[in-house]
Structure 1
Amino acid sequence: MGACLSPADDSDVSGRRTSAPLFFHPYVKGSQIVMDESHSIASRVATFCNGLVFSNRPVEPYEKVTLKISKEDGKWHGGLRVGFTWEDPSLWEPRELPPFACPNLVNQGKTRACVLPDEYCEEGTIVSYWVDNQGCVFCSINGEPEDILLLDGVLVTSPLWAVMDIYGRTKEVQLLDPSNLPTNNNVHSPLLLAHDDQIESNRHDSHSLLEGPTGDECAVCFGHKANTMMLPCSHANFCACCSLKILKTSGCCPLCRTKVKKILHVSGSAEREGMEDQSDNAKDIQPLR
Structure 2
Amino acid sequence: MGACLCPSDGPDDASEPPYGPLFFHPYIKGSQIILDESHCIASRVATFHDGIVFSNRPIEPYEKVTMKILKEEGNWHGGLRVGFTWEDPSLIDPSELPPYACPNLIIRGKSRAGVLPDEYGAEGTVVSFWVDSQGCVFCSINQESEGSLLLDGVSVTSPLWAIVDIYGRTKAVQLLDPTSLSTNADKLHLLMWTLDLRSESPCQHLQNLPEERTGDDCAICFGYKANTMMLPCSHASFCSCCSLKILKTSGRCPLCRQKVKRLLHISVLAERESPDVWLEDGKHIQLPR
Q: So what's the TM-score if we normalise by structure 2?
A: 0.57
Closer/same/farther in 2, CA of residues 117 and 94 from structure 1, 3 Å limit:
same
1:214-257 alpha-carbon deviations (Å, 9 max, x no partner): xxxxxxxxxxxxxxxxxxxxxxxxxxxxxxxxxxxxxxxxxxxx
- What is the CA–CA distance in structure 2 between the aligned matches of 1:139 and 1:165, rounded to whole Å? 15
Cα distance, 1:21 vs. partner? 0.5
Residues 136-151 of structure 1 mapped to structure 2, 5 A cutoff: 136-151=136-151
Contact 1:30 1:52 in 2 (8 A): yes
Q: Which residue of 2 aligns with 1:54?
A: 54
Contact 1:81 1:164 in 2 (8 A): yes
Amino acid at match of 1:48: F
- Structure 2 gap segments, 5+ residues each: 1-15, 184-289
- What is the CA–CA distance in structure 2 between the aligned matches of 1:17 and 1:35, rounded to whole Å? 23
- Structure 1 gap segments, 5+ residues each: 1-15, 184-289
Q: Which residue of 2 aligns with 1:20?
A: 20
Q: Which residue of 2 aligns with 1:80?
A: 80
- What is the CA–CA distance in structure 1 between the aligned matches of 2:46 and 2:175, rounded to whole Å? 21
Q: Which residue of 1 aligns with 2:121?
A: 121
Cα distance, 1:19 vs. partner? 3.1
Secondary structure (helix, strand or coil) at the match of 1:42 reads: strand
Q: Which residue of 2 aligns with 1:157?
A: 157
1:33-86 alpha-carbon deviations (Å, 9 max, x no partner): 000000000000000000000000001000000010100111001000000000
Q: CA RMSD in A?
A: 1.3
Q: Which residue of 2 aligns with 1:63?
A: 63
Amino acid at match of 1:134: Q
Residues 104-115 of structure 1 mapped to structure 2, 5 A cutoff: 104-115=104-115
- What is the CA–CA distance in structure 2 between the aligned matches of 1:151 and 1:75, rounded to whole Å? 27
Cα distance, 1:120 vs. partner? 1.0
Contact 2:65 2:129 in 1 (8 A): yes
- What is the CA–CA distance in structure 1 between the aligned matches of 2:146 and 2:157, rounded to whole Å? 27
- What is the CA–CA distance in structure 2 between the aligned matches of 1:45 and 1:17, rounded to whole Å? 31
Contact 1:84 1:154 in 2 (8 A): yes
Q: Which residue of 2 aligns with 1:135?
A: 135
Contact 1:143 1:182 in 2 (8 A): no
Closer/same/farther in 2, CA of residues 36 and 17 from structure 1, 3 Å limit:
closer
1:190-228 alpha-carbon deviations (Å, 9 max, x no partner): xxxxxxxxxxxxxxxxxxxxxxxxxxxxxxxxxxxxxxx
Secondary structure (helix, strand or coil) at the match of 2:74 reads: coil
- What is the CA–CA distance in structure 2 between the aligned matches of 1:97 and 1:29, rounded to whole Å? 8
Amino acid at match of 1:152: D
Secondary structure (helix, strand or coil) at the match of 1:69 reads: strand
Q: Which residue of 2 aligns with 1:220?
A: none
- What is the CA–CA distance in structure 2 between the aligned matches of 1:177 and 1:90, rounded to whole Å? 23
Amino acid at match of 1:60: E
Larger Cα-atom Rg: 2
- What is the CA–CA distance in structure 1 between the aligned matches of 2:147 and 2:48, rounded to whole Å? 29
Q: Which residue of 2 aligns with 1:167?
A: 167
1:104-161 alpha-carbon deviations (Å, 9 max, x no partner): 0001111000000111111111001000000000011001112111000000000000
- What is the CA–CA distance in structure 1 between the aligned matches of 2:116 and 2:17, rounded to whole Å? 32
Residues 83-94 of structure 1 mapped to structure 2, 5 A cutoff: 83-94=83-94
Cα distance, 1:18 vs. partner? 3.2
Contact 2:19 2:58 in 1 (8 A): no
Q: So what's the TM-score if we normalise by structure 1?
A: 0.57
Cα distance, 1:182 vs. partner? 2.7
Secondary structure (helix, strand or coil) at the match of 2:38 reads: coil
Q: Which residue of 2 aligns with 1:37?
A: 37
Amino acid at match of 2:119: E
Secondary structure (helix, strand or coil) at the match of 1:26 reads: strand
Query: Where does structure 1 differ by over 4 angstroms across 4 or more consecutive aligned residues?
Result: none
Identity in percent:
75
- What is the CA–CA distance in structure 2 between the aligned matches of 1:99 and 1:50, rounded to whole Å? 4
